[in-house]
Structure 1
């Protein structure tokens, strides 16, 4: 089973600290977990940090994965004019691997 644990995770843009000391319990594959917060609270930054698209302090542990890319990321803004359902977006992200930037 794949698990995800965050320990003392931080991220910043330039000198501006966005995330500071985020620690979570271990999330197990198959769990449904939500991340809620107002605009500009750091939700997307957290996902980018988990994927390694942003550098910062702390540790992201993904254990039990059977592939090198156990996480897929589909940003809300892709720059594409394609209209996809949520299901199609998830399938596309899974096929592309860790990070997906759709070009028009």
Structure 2
């Protein structure tokens, strides 16, 4: 089992890319991932422009995603009503999102 000893509730700004949204992306562009835990599951995420017209959130899980979440997740329909709480999609699915501030310990 892996335990993270240092996390904090994530906000949209914590996941935002610092890159200019108008920069052209080529085929080998890699998002500026931020390590997070979503409902306790290790993942990487970012908020920004990945080549689409709208700002999106992208999440990729290291393993099996929490129930009700696709892997990967990419949507422009999202918001953080409070730190650590992600709402996404048209049905308002909600998940706990924590920034991983240190490396996982075995």
TM-score for both structures, normalised by structure 2: 0.25
Q: Which has more radius of gyration?
A: 1
Higher relative contact order (CA 8 A, sep 6+): 2
Whose strand fraction is larger, Structure 1's or Structure 2's? 2
TM-score for both structures, normalised by structure 1: 0.25
